[in-house]
Structure 1
Amino acid sequence: MEQAGESLLSKIARGDGHGENSPYFEGWKAYEHDPFHPVKNPNGVIQMGLAENQLSCDLVQQWITSNPEASICTAEGVHEFKDIANFQDYHGLPLFRQGVAKLMGRTRGNRVRFDPDRIVMSGGATGAHEVTAFCLADPGEAFLVPTPYYPGFDRDLRWRTGVQLLPVICESTNNFKLTKKALESALEKAKQDNITVKGLLITNPSNPLGTIMDRETLKMVVKFINHHHIHLVSDEIYAATVFTHPGFTSIAEIIEEEDTKMECDRNLIHIVYSLSKDMGFPGFRVGIIYSYNDNVVNCARKMSSFGLVSTQTQHLIAAMLSDDEFVEHFLAESARRLAKRYGIFCRGLAKVGIKCLQSNAGLFLWMDLRPLLKKQTFEEEMALWRVIIHKVKINVSPGSSFHCCEPGWFRNKDVAVASKKPCSPRNLMLSFSSMRIDDFLMSPHSPIPQSPLVKATT
């Protein structure tokens, strides 16, 4: 009966293109089925795999309390209810687009300006990436993506579009820095496999690495895509999470510099942005496509009808982003708190012998657990991950789910989940830090999660 029902569905509905069979999503499910709670379920799974920035929620809450007129659902703002609730223009509220454009410039040190008329809304960065893929490539065509990369890209760009993602192999020997040699090698392999490459997708700052691309690398990338006449999509959703030097450099700045201006075809440059990470608004589903290509802007705006940001959300955010004093304070304080948390986690991990890739942005640590592997294989990596998720009860994500070419790397969230009660035990230490898997499984203490990963508080 079930099979007969499935036969009535589309190929996409029947397939597994969403990627839920990845350990990245399996970790989420383990948490959902057995979530940690300090009182109700102290032995549950602690969520360290979700990219939520909750460190500065209190600042936003304070602003909303002080500015009740910004919401149409308050006595102070309800007089605008009719106009805002009825507004359906998929261009978006002008003040909203102006506010986002201003924020994008501010998070880039005001070294570059963004045109509000090029701001296209989408339902989060997920929707923005899918719309961009629809605009730039046909089914079967491909984007190059440096590894390790965010597992959700396999869903966001591929699932419904039919677009392929081809890994550009980056290695730990140079801290996973993208090189021209790696790009050329990936492009050549695509040609040998008779795959048409339509673009390159980069994430800057990187998820999962927490690193930023320097100017020379970005210039190399622009020259590469211009030479081969392929698109460049720059995912910059972590732009304002840079918490120490060197600062963030946007691809928008690079194409303004004199030595790249003449050789840059701006029609090939597209930026994906969001307020989910920088402002901590993932539930608001505010995704942005900013393209220098007029045709892409026009097409993406039409397609945005399938994933608009609600006008109520636009109205509230427009008011918030127009408050220059608040935005300046928020960005500075958020960076300070991120830096503090990063230091606490790194020091805690170092005490139990775990090293991390040096980084200065994002919400994660890229942990090197290779010394814990009995053999340097992905099978051993998965065995270690099962110990961590099922025994230690912490959801961290194995590097293989990020298409990392080297086993033993794990992504761990360095921003603990906030709640009214502390949701992470203070006395935890990683009891298997100096053991191999077999030793850990034999240890009478192995089921007890004791980890500095969840020790820090704001």
Structure 2
Amino acid sequence: MLRLVSLSIVVCGTVLAAVSLQARLNNKRPYEQAIGSIADERGIPDRKKEAKTEPADTSDRSKENVAWFLAKHGRQLKRIAGTKPRIDLMTAENWIMRDRIVAIYKKNLEDCVEPKTLSYMPGLGGDPELFEAAASFINRFFKPCKPVTAKQMVAGAGCNAIIENLLYDICDRGDGLLIEVPYWAGFETCFVLRTQVQQVHVYPPSSSSPEALVGEYQKALAQANRPIKALLFCNPHNPKGTVYPQSHIEALLRFCEQNDLHFISDEIYGLSVFNTKDTGGFVSVLQIDLEALGVNPNRVHMVYSISKDLGSSGLRTGFLVTQTHDKLRLSAAIANHSHVSTLNSAAITRLLRDDAAMDSLIADTRTGLAEAARTMANFLSFHKQEFLPPVAGVFVWARLGGSQCTWAQESQLQDRLEECGVSMSAGSGYYAVEPGWFRLNFALEKDTMLQAMRNIEDALGLTQRWSPKAE
């Protein structure tokens, strides 16, 4: 493999994509077997010998990307192209306060559109006024150890774009990234399509201690066959809907310091924590005193977006906060290919500046999420389905396939759910350790969620019907 990586730059992109495909094939997920067969059929092409057979053909890099995407996300593309109506429990969107937020944006757009709104962005990494509003918002709700300033931020089209850009700046092609499984499938677009970074899986520890967690990261680091540059940490966790105690975050920060790794904290669900009684609440990496911990703040980066907590996923606006690494911040700003529009910036700036509206929205969203999560939990408990009680986010991680489920049966159940009119993500796409797990979004309008539950009962062959009256 090392010899492959050292090939000339002319074939570097194809080689790394093939290495990535083979690494995924070893995990034996159904879609990865499909990718593996594509790689086997094509082999590793010699571009010097191969003649183009099609006019105006795409690059080999493009072909590899399309082959990977079709194998990984083919089911979603088929669903999008289909005409049969389905309730979408696959997409993690927050509809709890959608009508109120729409009303706020309508007013903001009436008030904020002026001639300068149609001009180019005045700042290098984003609109300065947006950064001022976002910094104030983060300081108000995330309570950082050291206040965040506008100069410590870069904006991009959502967390995924920010993470991809960040990886592009801290990793070289073929470098590795530590990430705990299961993890959100969409992260892989950050790894594969442009940066060509290889994810190195960390498996959940058998105990809940911070020492056990670090032990699994240490094991993955030791077994990696490539340089590891960073650790991607998702807190609150997607897809499990859980939060990490401060002791675990600090242990991983020390681990990164000891092994010279960047620590990337994705906190996109940070304000969607609705159960603090059993967890102690959410702790942002920004709250931790890095100097007291002996951790260089240059290696710590927080990523946030308005997509989830503020129900605005379509506006594609996210932020990178790196408080001391000026060089990285500049690089992230100039290499950013996913800017936020001036119209978005103006509307969101108005929203984030309105402290009273933010206090009310976030409090009411948490209440609504708690109620929706409780309803989904009662439904699953009624049918004796195994699940992780969610404390954050907009979804629940449930084992609808049962403890005896195989990967093939999981795929069949996902098809059956589609046939019964409900779409949801299966655990194989998240590199779940065991088959049968699914992620179900519950942050929907009440009538829509109740109909989705009926469809799930049909797919599982459950004759006894749950109703809200059973709560």
Q: For the Cα contact (< 8 Å) 1:140–1:162, is it kept in 2? A: yes
Quick check: 1:150 aligned with 2:192? no
Structure 1 counterpart of 2:457: 431
Output aligned runs, 1:195-206, within 5 Å: 195-206=226-237
Q: 2:101 aligns with which of 35, 56, 60?
A: 60
Which one of 295, 301, 312 corresponds to residue 264 of structure 1? 295
The 3-state SS of whatever aligns with 1:199 is strand
Answer yes or no: is 1:84 the counterpart of 2:117.
Answer: yes
Taking the aligned partners of 1:128 and 1:377, their CA distance within structure 2 comes to 36
d(CA) in 1 for partners of 2:179, 2:55: 33
Change (3 A) 1:178 1:124: farther
- Offset at 1:119? 1.1
CA distance in 2, matches of 1:451, 1:5: 56
Distance in 2, Cα, partners of 1:340 & 1:177: 34
Asked if the contact 1:22–1:401 (Cα under 8 Å) also holds between the matched residues in 2, the reply is: no
The reply to whether residue 29 of structure 1 matches residue 29 of structure 2 is no
Q: CA deviation at 1:201?
A: 0.5
Using the alignment, how far apart are the partners of 1:357 and 1:423 within structure 2? 19
Task: Measure the CA separation in 2 of the matches of 1:176 and 1:359.
Answer: 21
Distance 1:356 1:28, change over 3 A: same
Distance across 1 between alignment mates of 2:207 and 2:416: 27
> What does residue 395 of structure 1 align with?
423
Alpha-carbon distance in structure 1 between the residues aligned to 2:247 and 2:191:
27
Distance 2:192 2:466 in 1: 36
Post-superposition Cα deviations, 1:243-292, rounded to whole Å, max 9, x if no partner, equal 1203110111123473x1xx101111111111111111111110211123
Distance 1:50 1:17, change over 3 A: same
Cα displacement string for residues 36-83 of structure 1 (whole angstroms, at most 9, x for unaligned residues) = xxxxx6xx3221000111111122133345xx3x32xx4x545xx211
Unmatched 5+ stretches in structure 2? 1-51
Separation of aligned partners in 2, 1:273 and 1:251: 12
Relative to structure 1, the CA distance from residue 430 to residue 126 in structure 2 (aligned partners, 3 Å threshold; closer, same or farther) is closer
Residue 201 of structure 2 aligns to a residue whose secondary structure is strand
Counterpart of 1:31, as a letter, is: R
- Judging changes above 3 Å, is the alpha-carbon distance between structure 1 residues 427 and 235 closer, same or farther for their aligned structure 2 residues? closer
Q: Helix, strand or coil: the match of 2:169? A: helix
Q: Is the 8 A contact 2:405 2:435 kept in 1?
A: yes
For normalisation by structure 1, the TM-score amounts to 0.82
Counterpart amino acid of 1:361? A
More deviation, 118-127/176-185: 176-185
The count of residues paired between Structure 1 and Structure 2 equals 413
| 2:330 matches 1:302 | no
Map Cα deviations across residues 309-339 of structure 1 (whole Å, 9 max, x no partner).
0111111111111111111111101111011
Q: Which moved more, 1:172-181 or 1:140-149?
A: 172-181
Q: Cα distance 1:451–1:11, how it changes in 2: closer, same or farther (>3 A)? A: farther
Counterpart AA for 1:32: I
Match runs of 1:394-413 below 5 Å: 394-413=422-441
CA shift at 1:164, angstroms? 0.8
- Aligned residue in 1 for 2:161: 127
| The one of 60, 68, 81 aligned to 1:11 | 60
- Aligned residue for 2:241, secondary structure, equals coil
Residue by residue over 1:401-440, the C-alpha shift from the partner in whole angstroms, topping out at 9 and shown as x without a partner, is 101111121111111268xx8586388264368x7xxxx5
Question: How far does residue 30 in structure 1 lie from its aligned partner after superposition?
Answer: 4.4
Say if 1:27 and 1:397, in contact at 8 Å, map to a contact too: no
Q: TM-score, normalised by structure 2?
A: 0.80
Give per-residue Cα distances to partners, 1:169-206, cap 9 Å, x unaligned: 1168759997011101100110xx2x000011010111
Residues 202 and 216 of structure 2 are in contact (CA less than 8 Å); yes or no, is this contact kept in structure 1? yes
Are the aligned partners of 2:96 and 2:443 in contact in 1 as well (CA < 8 Å)?
yes
Report the alpha carbon displacement of residue 9 of structure 1 after superposing the two structures with TM.
1.2
What secondary structure does 2:142 align onto? coil
User: Paired residue for 2:443?
Assistant: 415
Which residue of structure 1 lines up, in the alignment, with residue 133 of structure 2?
A: 99
Identity of aligned residues (%): 23
Q: CA deviation at 1:157?
A: 2.5
Residue matched to 1:49 = 90
TM-superposed CA distance for 1:33, in Å, is 3.3
User: Partners of 1:423 and 1:341 in 2: how far apart?
Assistant: 9
How far is 1:344 from its partner? 0.6
SS across alignment from 1:278: coil
Q: State how far apart, in whole Å, the 1-side matches of 2:65 and 2:428 are.
A: 18
Q: How far, CA to CA, are the matches of 1:230 and 1:176 in structure 2? A: 18
Q: 1:277 to 1:83 in 2, by over 3 A?
A: same
Say which SS state the counterpart of residue 148 (structure 1) adopts: coil
Partner of 1:38: none
Q: 1:312 corresponds to which residue?
A: 343
In 2, Cα distance between the equivalents of 1:33 and 1:22?
16
SS at match of 1:425: helix
Name the CA shift for 1:169/1:22 in 2 (closer, same or farther; >3 Å): farther
